[in-house]
Amino acid sequence: MALAEFLAELDDLAQSAAAAFQLAADPHALEAARIEFLGAKSGRLKAVQKGLGKVPGPDKPAAGKRFNEVKQAIEAAFQAATERCAASKGPAKEALRFDPTVPGVRPAIGHLHPITQTIEHLKDIMGRLGFTVADGPEVEDAWHNFEALNIPPEHPARDPLENFYLATAGRAAGSAAGDGLLLRSQTSTVQIRVMEKTRPPVRIISLGRVYRPDKPDKTHSPMFHQIEGLLVDRRVTMADLKSVLRLLGMSYFHGDVHIRFRPSFFPFTEPSVEIDMQWQGRWIEMGGAGMVDPNVLRAVGYDPEEVTGFAFGLGIERICMRQHGIDDIREFYENNVRFLHQF
């Protein structure tokens, strides 16, 4: 090995060692650096020392002298770092002061939106009754939002004034509604999506946003949330529907809840009802329900002679508002922290 090469290696070593000792922030890091550079068996200084034997004879004195200088410099750097670490009040000492036996402090990271809390609560209750959660898209096609739900093209529920249709290239302005995509106006769409790909029995709920062009006021919002329930099996009746809704109400409100049905009409259920719930002496309208119309069962390939089913759709905001005594639905969407903090 040429003298120049050996000296270059020494310089390199001196520089890296000095840097490593300087950077060591605590005794652990310092010890690791010591082993790397000054380790008796396989330290880097030892490795470079082996090169000394290969330097040609006449150059040996010069090489040896430089080696000793570098060795001393590295040892001095280590010594300095040791003193610095001992004196420092840096992170090493802070870390030692950490007491893992002291109880932790829960960080203030906020909490769930009241609507989300209601959704989670409803899922828990219905989950205990054996209903699994199904999801569907918020941008729907006419088949799932209307057609398969027994709502034919000329039905007033498909009117552009009642729905948020997406402006699609194929649909000329003012043409008959029903083609193209729309923001779903009800979660009943998910009934169809589930039944299309499952054989009965079916026992699902679906919770999510729905959209209707209503003018916002205390009780209306162009976007709100629904919980849809669907149970299809042999010999399902209105009595099952009423029992499940009553259980849901009693579990949610922790009290005696009564369910009242008023005759109504939905194209996808027959008979159809409006659901009222009574809690703490007051009746409140919760949504619609009924027995799944045979046409709907046929649309998804079920045999209405073999299975029957009930379906319901409730307004999630209503449930949450009734629970907390909130009287304006718009509060939910304004992100007023003083309002949200209360739940």
Q: What is the contact mask toward ligand PHE in residues 187 to 206, using x (rule: CB under 6 A)?
A: -x------------------
224 binds ligand PHE (CB under 6 A): no
Q: Smallest distance from the beta carbon of 188 to ligand PHE, in angstroms?
A: 4
Residues between 274 and 303 with contacts to ligand PHE, criterion CB under 6 A = 287-290
229 phi, psi to nearest 5 deg = -125, 145
Give the integer Cα–Cα distance in Å for 82 and 96: 17
DSSP symbol at 185: S
Question: Closer CB to ligand PHE, residue 70 or residue 329?
Answer: 329
Residues between 156 and 185 with contacts to ligand PHE, criterion CB under 6 A = none
Q: Smallest distance from the beta carbon of 169 to ligand PHE, in angstroms?
A: 29
Give the integer Cα–Cα distance in Å for 82 and 84: 5
Question: Closer CB to ligand PHE, residue 177 or residue 311?
Answer: 311
Question: Closer CB to ligand PHE, residue 78 or residue 312?
Answer: 312
Local structure of 233: helix, strand or coil: strand
Among 208, 269, 321, 326, binds ligand PHE (CB under 6 A): 269
Q: Smallest distance from the beta carbon of 244 to ligand PHE, in angstroms?
A: 13
Buried b (16+ CB within 10 A) or exposed e, 92-108: beeeeeeeeeeeeeeee
Among 118, 145, 186, 206, binds ligand PHE (CB under 6 A): 186
Q: Smallest distance from the beta carbon of 312 to ligand PHE, in angstroms?
A: 5
Question: Closer CB to ligand PHE, residue 74 or residue 329?
Answer: 329
User: Which segments within the chain are labelled E, that is strand?
Assistant: 132-133, 139-141, 164-165, 181-183, 202-211, 223-233, 258-266, 269-279, 282-292, 308-315
Q: Smallest distance from the beta carbon of 256 to ligand PHE, in angstroms?
A: 25
Question: Closer CB to ligand PHE, residue 200 or residue 288?
Answer: 288
Per the listing, tokens 């009802």 go with 273
266 binds ligand PHE (CB under 6 A): yes
146 binds ligand PHE (CB under 6 A): no
Give the integer Cα–Cα distance in Å for 162 and 145: 13
Q: What is the contact mask toward ligand PHE in residues 299 to 328, using x (rule: CB under 6 A)?
A: ------------xxx---------------
Question: Closer CB to ligand PHE, residue 70 or residue 230?
Answer: 230
Cβ atoms within 10 A of the Cβ of 26, count?
Answer: 16
- The structure tokens listed for 192 are 């169809």
Determine the residue with CB nearest ligand PHE. 313
Query: How long, in residues, is the chain?
Result: 343
Kind and range of the H or E run holding 192: helix 189-197
- The structure tokens listed for 173 are 């302005």
- The structure tokens listed for 207 are 């919770």
- The structure tokens listed for 107 are 């960080």
Kind and range of the H or E run holding 212: none
Question: Closer CB to ligand PHE, residue 131 or residue 312?
Answer: 312
Residues binding ligand PHE: number (CB under 6 A): 11
Kind and range of the H or E run holding 328: none
Question: Closer CB to ligand PHE, residue 67 or residue 310?
Answer: 310
Q: Smallest distance from the beta carbon of 287 to ligand PHE, in angstroms?
A: 5
264 phi, psi to nearest 5 deg = -150, -170
Give the integer Cα–Cα distance in Å for 193 and 300: 9
Question: Footprint of ligand PHE on this chain (CB under 6 A)?
Answer: 186, 188, 266, 269, 287-290, 311-313
